[in-house]
Amino acid sequence: MDKLVIEGGIRLKGEVTVSGAKNSVLPILAATLLTDEPCIIKCVPNLRNTNTMLKILRSLGKNSDFDKGIVNITSTKNLNFTADYKLVSTMRASFCVLGPLLGRLKKAKVSLPGGCIIGVRPVDLHLKGIKSLGASVSVESGYVVAKANRLKGSHMYLGGAYGSSVLATDNVMMAAVLAQGETIIESAACEPEVVDLAEFLIKMGAKIKGHGTPIIEIEGVKQLYGATHTIIPDRIEAGTLMIASLITKGDITLKNVLCQHLGALIDKLQEAGALIVKTNGSVRVYLKRRLKPINVTTLPYPGLPTDMQAQIMSLMAVTPGISVITEKVYPDRFMHVAELNRMGAHIQREGPHAIVEGVRELTGAPVMASDLRASASLVLAGLVARGETQVSRIYHLERGYENIEAKLQSLGAKIWREKE
Ligand code: UD1
């Protein structure tokens, strides 16, 4: 296993290009199961998670090649309806093969998922949605088994205790595009990645309206076709790099950014005192004076993303004053608190809140990554800490950030990989 070693204290400067969105590409690759025709997906980030999804597709009968950011999905002969535990358990997003398999084959057997350890992550909304389309669902030996003679469009409400669900919306949308008649999903997730999936499905021949709003309307069609699609930029990678600029008092320009997907984050960073200059497709992030503490609450889109909570916490950990961070999507997503405190942060967790008393300085330490975004927060803390920080278990980081150490190096950071 590798670890990342960071020598902190360098102001990051320069330009860097943001990769395609992890949370778009995974369901979009799954959506290629909806046709036997070839598909071409561009701007695909080379991530551990992307390769896992390609392996799952291969196990289901779909061949592909992946080179220079382009995935070519070749035509299919026979699709298999079972997604194996060994693959699905390593990545939660693989559960979104359930919808397209069910849509195509009217049966699917998909292992219950694994993924980041960020609290209980149920799949009840996914199952509620596909049951509403007329499928019978049972759980057998750790697998969800869904069957239907035919899928029939229906009107459903998909909100849960923590609001809408991104992957449940994706899953149900992918099953409904081949169902008979009209489906209306109320309390659908509005995330840009759901919109990107819907746009791809429309290119494949699906009839979808309202994506990007809480009510999605789908008119089932008989068949979908091959399509070519370019993945949107990763707003979470962009946000993480924006914070890398601020935490090091640097001056970074990000290219391939859609600022309209970053509204809540940009608003909060500006409230803290960041200077953010948006130009067509790029954004410059820098500081002229000290940041101020801020209170933030994570919410489903267009609210502040939970996937930015840990990175904002690192920034507030070195911003003198008190900040309160409230997590409303995954109330237990605070594994990074203890690790940041090992670096000298003063953070106290109280239920879904973290009270951050900003300190003047963090000190480098060996720390352990527990999930994808927690890993990013530790790297950010390492960039500003005095001395050397060693972040172990970086396979979490590799699941969601393409070439992150090369990108940070290109901005001047002293960061390198070593064997543990
Ligand atoms: C997606 C993202 C992940 C992000 C999350 C929230 C992908 C591949 N991953 O995950 O990076 O952190 O959205 O923005 O897109 N819930 C239920 N029942 C369900 C499903 C979800 O109660 O059946 C709850 C979850 O426990 C959580 C909330 O709903 O509290 C939102 O989760 P959800 O949007 O489903 O997250 P994912 O789609 O798994």
Q: How far apart are CA 291 and CA 412, in angstroms?
A: 22
Mean pLDDT of the region 383-400: 94
Q: Find the 317 Cα to ligand 1 centroid distance in Å.
A: 26
Query: What gap in Å lies between CA 390 and CA 378, rounded to an integer?
Result: 9
Residues 381 and 397 in one domain: yes
CATH assignment at residue 160: 3.65.10.10
Please check whether residues 90 and 218 belong to one and the same domain. Answer: yes
pLDDT-derived band at 288 (thresholds 50, 70, 90) equals very high
What integer pLDDT is reported at residue 117 of this predicted model?
54
Q: Which of 230, 258, 291 is the last residue of a domain?
A: 230
Supply the DSSP symbol for 89.
T
Instruction: Choose the catalytic residue: 39, 43, 96, 116.
Output: 116
Residue pLDDT, tens place only, 22-60: 999 999 999 999 999 999 999 999 999 999 999 999 999
Do 128 and 147 lie in a common domain?
yes
In this prediction, residue 202 has a pLDDT band, given cuts at 50, 70 and 90, of very high
Domain boundary among 202, 230, 258: 230
* 253 and 114 fall within a common domain: no
Single-letter code of the amino acid located at 352: P
Give the pLDDT score at 102: 97
Q: Evaluate if residue 320 carries a pLDDT over 70.
A: yes
Say whether 43 is catalytic. no
Cα dihedral across residues 190, 263, 162, 377: positive or negative: positive
Question: How far does the centroid of ligand 1 lie from the alpha carbon of residue 330, in Å?
Answer: 8
For residue range 290-312, what is the model confidence (pLDDT) as tens digits? 999 999 999 999 999 999 999 99
Same domain? For 6 and 28 the reply is: no
Distances (CA, A) of 192 to 23, 189, 201, 304, 353: 9, 9, 14, 13, 26
Q: How confident is the model at residue 122 (pLDDT cuts 50, 70, 90)?
A: confident
Q: Is the domain of 29 the same as that of 9?
A: no
**Residue type at position 406:** A
Residues 166 and 246 in one domain: no
Q: Which domain holds residue 295?
A: 2-18+233-419
Give the atom of ligand 1 at the shortest distance from the alpha carbon of 121: 26
At residue 227, the pLDDT reads 98
> Mean per-residue pLDDT for 405-414?
97
Residue nearest atom 6 in ligand 1 by C-alpha distance:
306
* pLDDT value at residue 120: 61
Q: Say how far apart CA 302 and CA 304 lie, in whole Å.
A: 7
Strands (E), 203-345: 207-209, 215-219, 228-230, 251-255, 275-279, 282-286, 296-298, 321-327
What tokens does 254 get?
């990000």
Going by alpha carbons, the residue nearest to atom 12 of ligand 1 is: 307
Question: Are residues 150 and 98 both part of a single domain?
Answer: yes
Write the single-letter amino acid at 44: V
Report the pLDDT averaged over residues 320-334. Answer: 96
- Nearest alpha-carbon partner for 290 in 257, 315, 268, 312: 315
Q: Residues lining ligand 1, judged by CB closer than 6 Å? A: 23, 26, 92-93, 121-126, 160-162, 165-168, 189, 193, 305-307, 329-330
Q: What is the pLDDT of residue 329?
A: 96
**Are 214 and 70 in the same domain?**
yes
CA distance 97 to 391: 32
Letter for the amino acid at 378?
A: L
State the Cα–Cα distance between residues 298 and 94, nearest whole angstrom: 24
Ligand 1: which residue has its CA nearest to atom 9? Answer: 23
Among 188, 203, 230, the domain boundary falls at: 230
Q: How do residues 162-180 score in pLDDT, each as one tens digit?
A: 999 999 999 999 999 999 9
User: Do 294 and 273 share a structural domain?
Assistant: yes
Q: How far is the CA of 336 from the centre of ligand 1 (A)?
A: 19
Q: Do 30 and 151 share a structural domain?
A: yes
| Residue 1: per-residue pLDDT | 82
Number of domains making up the chain: 2
Percent of the chain clearing pLDDT 90 (strictly above) = 90
Structure tokens at 364: 């480098």
Query: Predicted confidence band at 395 (pLDDT cuts at 50, 70, 90)?
Result: confident
* 111 in the same domain as 30: yes
Give the list of residues 6+ apart from residue 140 with CB closer than 8 angstroms, or none: none
